[in-house]
Structure 1
Amino acid sequence: MSFRTLLVATVTAALSLLPVAGATAQRSGLISRTKLDNGLEVVVAENPAVPLATVLVAVRNGAFTQDSAEAGLAHLYEHLLFHSFRRDPSAFGYEVSKLNGRYNGTTNHEVVTYFVVVPSKHVDSGIKLLGRLLEDAHFSNGDLKDERPVVLDELQRDESDPEGLLARQVDRALWGESWPRKDVGGDSVSLQGITPEQLKQTYARFYVPNNAALIVTGDVTPDRVLAAARHHFGDWKRGADPFADRPIPPVSPRAGSAAILLGKDVLDVTIVVALQGPSVRTDPAATYAADALFEVFNDPGSPFQRRLVDAGPFQSVTGHYLTLDHTGPIELRAKTTPAHAQEALLKLLDELDNLDMLDSVTDEDLAIAKKRREVTTALTVEQTAMVAPQLALWWSSAGMDYYLTYDDRMNAQTLDSLRQFARAYVAGRPRVIGVLGAPTVVDALAAWLRAGARKTTP
Structure 2
Amino acid sequence: MKKLLNGLALSLLSLSAFAQPRLPKGYYWDSLPNGLQVVVIENSKVPLATIEIAVKNGAYTEGPEYSGLSHLFEHMFFKANKDYPDQEKFLKRTQELGAIWNGTTGDERVNYFFTFAKDSLNAGLHFMNSAIRFPIYRQEDMAKERPVVDGEFQRNESNPYFQLWYNINKKMWGDLFTRKNPIGDHHIINTATPEKMMIIKNKYYVPNNSLLVVCGDVKKDDVFSQVTAIFGSWERSDPNPHLKYPIPEFPPLTHTDYFIKESSIAQTPFIMYEWQGPDTRNDSAATLAADLFSTVLGLNASKFQQALVSTGLASYASMSYQTEKYVGPIIITLVPNPMKLKECVTTLEQQIALMADENYITDEQIADAKQVMRNKIRQEEKPSALASELTYWWCSASLNYATDYFSNIEKVTRQDIQDYLKKYVVNKSHIAGMIINAEMNKTLKPADYFKPAN
Give the deviation of 1:454 after TM superposition: 6.6
Q: CA-atom RMSD, angstroms?
A: 2.0
Q: Which residue does the alignment assign to 2:421?
A: 422
- State the AA in 2 paired with 1:188: H
Alignment of 1:141-180 (within 5 A): 141-180=139-178
Q: Which residue does the alignment assign to 1:441?
A: 440
Q: Deviations over 1:397-435 (max 9, x none)?
A: 101011111111111000000000001111111212122
Q: Which residue does the alignment assign to 1:47?
A: 43
Q: Could you say if the C-alpha distance between residues 100 and 179 of structure 1 is closer, same or farther in structure 2, counting changes exceeding 3 Å?
A: same
Q: Could you say if the C-alpha distance between residues 368 and 395 of structure 1 is closer, same or farther in structure 2, counting changes exceeding 3 Å?
A: same
1:253 partnered with 2:252 = yes
2:195 is matched with which residue: 194, 197, 219? Answer: 197
Unaligned stretches of 5+ residues in structure 2: 1-20
Q: Could you say if the C-alpha distance between residues 239 and 109 of structure 1 is closer, same or farther in structure 2, counting changes exceeding 3 Å?
A: same
C-alpha separation between the residues in 1 aligned to 2:76 and 2:275? 34
CA contact (8 A) 2:312 2:337 kept: no
1:98 is matched with which residue: 76, 96, 99? Answer: 96
CA contact (8 A) 1:55 1:117 kept: yes
- State the AA in 1 paired with 2:145: E
CA contact (8 A) 2:294 2:320 kept: yes
Q: Which residue does the alignment assign to 1:31?
A: 27
Aligned to 1:82, the other structure's residue is in SS state coil
Q: Could you say if the C-alpha distance between residues 444 and 425 of structure 1 is closer, same or farther in structure 2, counting changes exceeding 3 Å?
A: farther
C-alpha separation between the residues in 2 aligned to 1:355 and 1:93? 52
Give the deviation of 1:264 after TM superposition: 2.5
- State the AA in 1 paired with 2:219: T
Give the deviation of 1:333 after TM superposition: 1.0
CA contact (8 A) 2:258 2:451 kept: no
C-alpha separation between the residues in 2 aligned to 1:126 and 1:132? 10
Q: Deviations over 1:329-362 (max 9, x none)?
A: 1111122221012211121122112211154411
1:115 partnered with 2:113 = yes
Q: Deviations over 1:75-106 (max 9, x none)?
A: 11111122123330222221111111111111
Q: Which residue does the alignment assign to 1:270?
A: 270
Alignment of 1:132-143 (within 5 A): 132-143=130-141
TM-score of the pair, normalised by structure 2: 0.90
Structure with higher Rg: it is 2
Alignment of 1:296-307 (within 5 A): 296-307=296-307
Give the deviation of 1:312 after TM superposition: 5.2
C-alpha separation between the residues in 2 aligned to 1:260 and 1:223? 57
C-alpha separation between the residues in 2 aligned to 1:289 and 1:259? 27
CA contact (8 A) 2:104 2:111 kept: yes
- State the AA in 2 paired with 1:247: P
- State the AA in 2 paired with 1:37: P
Aligned-residue sequence identity (percent) comes to 30
CA contact (8 A) 1:306 1:312 kept: no
Give the deviation of 1:448 after TM superposition: 4.1
TM-score of the pair, normalised by structure 1: 0.89
Q: Could you say if the C-alpha distance between residues 84 and 252 of structure 1 is closer, same or farther in structure 2, counting changes exceeding 3 Å?
A: farther
Give the deviation of 1:319 after TM superposition: 1.1
Aligned to 1:90, the other structure's residue is in SS state helix
CA contact (8 A) 1:436 1:442 kept: no
Q: Which residue does the alignment assign to 1:354?
A: 354
C-alpha separation between the residues in 2 aligned to 1:25 and 1:282? 20
Give the deviation of 1:69 after TM superposition: 1.3
- State the AA in 2 paired with 1:284: S
Q: Deviations over 1:203-223 (max 9, x none)?
A: 111111010010122222222
Q: Which residue does the alignment assign to 1:242?
A: 241
CA contact (8 A) 1:346 1:455 kept: no
CA contact (8 A) 1:274 1:330 kept: yes
Q: Deviations over 1:114-149 (max 9, x none)?
A: 111112222222222101111112223333222211
Q: Deviations over 1:244-293 (max 9, x none)?
A: 23211101222212223233344432211111111110111110110111
C-alpha separation between the residues in 2 aligned to 1:265 and 1:180? 25
- State the AA in 2 paired with 1:272: M
C-alpha separation between the residues in 1 aligned to 2:50 and 2:431? 39
Aligned to 2:144, the other structure's residue is in SS state helix
2:123 is matched with which residue: 122, 125, 133? Answer: 125
CA contact (8 A) 2:22 2:400 kept: no
C-alpha separation between the residues in 2 aligned to 1:58 and 1:72? 17
Q: Could you say if the C-alpha distance between residues 148 and 457 of structure 1 is closer, same or farther in structure 2, counting changes exceeding 3 Å?
A: same
Unaligned stretches of 5+ residues in structure 1: 1-23
CA contact (8 A) 1:270 1:335 kept: yes
Aligned to 1:110, the other structure's residue is in SS state coil
CA contact (8 A) 1:275 1:431 kept: yes
Alignment of 1:14-93 (within 5 A): 28-85=24-81, 86-93=84-91
C-alpha separation between the residues in 2 aligned to 1:220 and 1:434? 49
Q: Could you say if the C-alpha distance between residues 358 and 193 of structure 1 is closer, same or farther in structure 2, counting changes exceeding 3 Å?
A: farther
Q: Which residue does the alignment assign to 1:8?
A: none
- State the AA in 2 paired with 1:409: N
CA contact (8 A) 2:258 2:452 kept: no
Give the deviation of 1:180 after TM superposition: 0.9
Q: Which residue does the alignment assign to 1:394?
A: 393
Aligned to 1:48, the other structure's residue is in SS state coil
Aligned to 1:320, the other structure's residue is in SS state strand
Give the deviation of 1:43 after TM superposition: 1.1
Q: Which residue does the alignment assign to 2:211?
A: 213
Q: Could you say if the C-alpha distance between residues 454 and 396 of structure 1 is closer, same or farther in structure 2, counting changes exceeding 3 Å?
A: closer
